């Protein structure tokens, strides 16, 4: 077990297609899979306690010398449905925003949009987890993940989809999370396991939708629509460009010290691999 590659992931709905195969034993001879919340995964990566983690992309600015696994991420190209700003008033009348303690990437995205799109600077603070309490204490709330997807906003609220606003403004996707690794950890076999796990997840969306529940709530139609129409798992050139743009904006606003360098694991091999894949017949078995 000690020589296995230690992989950390989160249990949110939008990660399930990425980890589906590994949860069912894919690559068990090479990997040890565990689950934690994003903030704990970032601390574990910084401490060297895990080797690969599905991390919010802003962690690249916090944990040095990480590599990004090519081809796989949690992204949106338009409405995300699960990264929202819920407000009692219009954007330019907002005086205070309750940030979500579970997602620094989404919080930074909200702060970037306020500063660089809306030209407005309210106060930001980590708010209560309960939506009604957060709205009682603040004008607006950043709401992310499964709770944003499944909860209904109170009547009369203005709801802004932050992924949609980013894409409308930049023309680019937004990347919320990616597989990140300590340098030199990802080899071709690990790369193949991660991609094969995603392919197994893609073929199991109906099963994931049927089995998933949040706080006792089940809505297979909502889950299926969310995973197929709103969340994407590609991480290619456009996504890398979007990450760089996001990091540059976060740096301008003083939200990260400097834009991190985006280093791709197996870069030379995957570039050749991608070219060969594009030239191969449609029934090619290449991953």
Output the pLDDT for position 270: 62
Q: Can you read off the two tokens belonging to residue 216? A: 């006792």
User: Does position 268 have pLDDT exceeding 50, yes or no?
Assistant: yes
Output the pLDDT for position 102: 81
User: Does position 201 have pLDDT exceeding 90, yes or no?
Assistant: yes
Final residue before a domain boundary, out of 170, 191, 217: 170
Output the pLDDT for position 164: 97
Final residue before a domain boundary, out of 117, 138, 170: 170
Output the pLDDT for position 11: 86
103 or 114, higher pLDDT: 114
Residue 245 lies in a domain: no
Q: Using an 8 Å Cβ cutoff, are 67 and 264 in contact?
A: yes
Q: Do 44 and 154 reside in the same domain of the chain?
A: no
Q: Determine the average pLDDT of the residues in 224-246.
A: 97
* Element housing 135 (H / E): helix 131-137
Output the pLDDT for position 279: 42
Residue 159 lies in a domain: yes
Residue 102 lies in a domain: yes
Q: Domain residues for 28?
A: 5-75+174-237+258-279
Output the pLDDT for position 269: 64
Output the pLDDT for position 274: 52
Residue 244 lies in a domain: no
Looking at the structure of the chain, the number of domains it has is 2
φ/ψ of residue 99, rounded to 5: -80, 160
Q: What CATH number did the domain enclosing 145 receive?
A: 3.40.190.10
Q: Do 156 and 192 reside in the same domain of the chain?
A: no
Mean pLDDT of the chain: 91
Q: Do 27 and 94 reside in the same domain of the chain?
A: no
**CA–CA gap between residue 171 and residue 143 (Å, rounded):** 23
Q: Do 197 and 264 reside in the same domain of the chain?
A: yes
Place of tokens 């991953």: 287
Q: Do 143 and 202 reside in the same domain of the chain?
A: no
Q: Do 19 and 144 reside in the same domain of the chain?
A: no
pLDDT in tens, 53-94: 999 999 999 998 999 999 999 999 999 999 999 999 999 999
In this structure, the dihedral spanned by the alpha carbons of residues 131, 134, 135 and 138, taken in order and rounded to 10 degrees, is -160
Q: Do 191 and 166 reside in the same domain of the chain?
A: no
Neighbouring CB atoms inside 10 A of 266's CB total: 18
Q: Do 180 and 270 reside in the same domain of the chain?
A: yes
* Exposure string over 132-170, b if 16+ CB within 10 A, otherwise e: eebbeebbbbbbbbbbbbbeebeeebeebbbbbbbbeee
**CA–CA gap between residue 70 and residue 236 (Å, rounded):** 7
User: Does position 120 have pLDDT exceeding 50, yes or no?
Assistant: yes
Q: Do 147 and 189 reside in the same domain of the chain?
A: no
Output the pLDDT for position 98: 98
Instruction: Pick the range with the lowest mean pLDDT from 153-162, 209-218, 221-230, 265-274.
Output: 265-274
Q: Do 71 and 178 reside in the same domain of the chain?
A: yes
User: Does position 184 have pLDDT exceeding 60, yes or no?
Assistant: yes
Q: How far is CA 261 from CA 61, 67, 68, 238, 258, in A?
A: 8, 9, 10, 16, 9
Residue 31 lies in a domain: yes
Q: How far is CA 16 from CA 12, 51, 182, in A?
A: 7, 20, 23
The gap from C-alpha 285 to its chain's centroid, in whole angstroms, comes to: 28
Q: Do 178 and 275 reside in the same domain of the chain?
A: yes
Output the pLDDT for position 271: 57
**CA–CA gap between residue 185 and residue 263 (Å, rounded):** 13
User: Does position 5 have pLDDT exceeding 70, yes or no?
Assistant: yes
**What pTM, to 2 d.p., does this model score?**
0.90
Query: Residue 244 — very low, low, confident or very high, per pLDDT cuts 50/70/90?
Result: very high
Q: Can you read off the two tokens belonging to residue 219? A: 């809505």
Q: Using an 8 Å Cβ cutoff, are 158 and 90 in contact?
A: yes
Output the pLDDT for position 143: 95
CB-side neighbour CA atoms (13 Å) of 93: 6
Query: Residue 285 — very low, low, confident or very high, per pLDDT cuts 50/70/90?
Result: very low
Q: Determine the average pLDDT of the residues in 21-49.
A: 94
Output the pLDDT for position 24: 96
User: Does position 21 have pLDDT exceeding 70, yes or no?
Assistant: yes
Q: Do 88 and 158 reside in the same domain of the chain?
A: yes
Final residue before a domain boundary, out of 170, 198, 225: 170
């Amino acid at each position: 077990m000690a020589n296995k590659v230690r992989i950390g992931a989160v249990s949110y709905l939008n990660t399930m297609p990425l980890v589906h195969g590994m949860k069912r034993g894919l690559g068990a001879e090479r990997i040890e899979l565990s689950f934690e919340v994003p903030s704990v995964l970032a601390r574990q990566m910084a401490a060297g306690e895990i080797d690969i983690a599905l991390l919010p992309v802003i962690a690249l600015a916090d944990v040095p010398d990480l590599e990004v696994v090519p081809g796989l991420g949690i992204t949106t190209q338009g409405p995300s449905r699960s990264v929202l700003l819920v407000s009692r008033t219009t954007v330019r009348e907002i005086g205070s925003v309750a940030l979500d303690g579970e997602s620094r990437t989404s919080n930074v995205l909200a702060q970037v949009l306020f500063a660089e799109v809306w030209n407005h600077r309210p106060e930001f603070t980590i708010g209560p987890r309960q939506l009604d309490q957060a709205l009682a204490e603040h004008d607006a709330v950043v709401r992310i993940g499964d709770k944003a997807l499944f909860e209904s906003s109170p009547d009369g609220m203005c709801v802004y989809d932050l992924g949609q606003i980013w894409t409308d403004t930049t023309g680019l996707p937004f990347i919320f999370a990616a597989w990140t690794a300590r340098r030199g950890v990802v080899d071709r076999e690990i790369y193949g396991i991660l991609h094969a796990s995603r392919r197994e997840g893609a073929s199991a969306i109906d099963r994931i939708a049927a089995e998933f529940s949040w706080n006792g709530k089940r809505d297979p139609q909502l889950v299926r629509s969310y995973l197929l129409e709103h969340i994407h798992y590609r991480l290619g050139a456009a996504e890398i460009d979007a990450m760089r743009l996001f990091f540059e904006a976060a740096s301008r606003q003083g939200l990260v010290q400097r834009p991190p360098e985006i280093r791709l694991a197996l870069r030379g091999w995957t570039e050749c691999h991608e070219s060969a894949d594009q030239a191969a017949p449609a029934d090619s078995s290449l991953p």
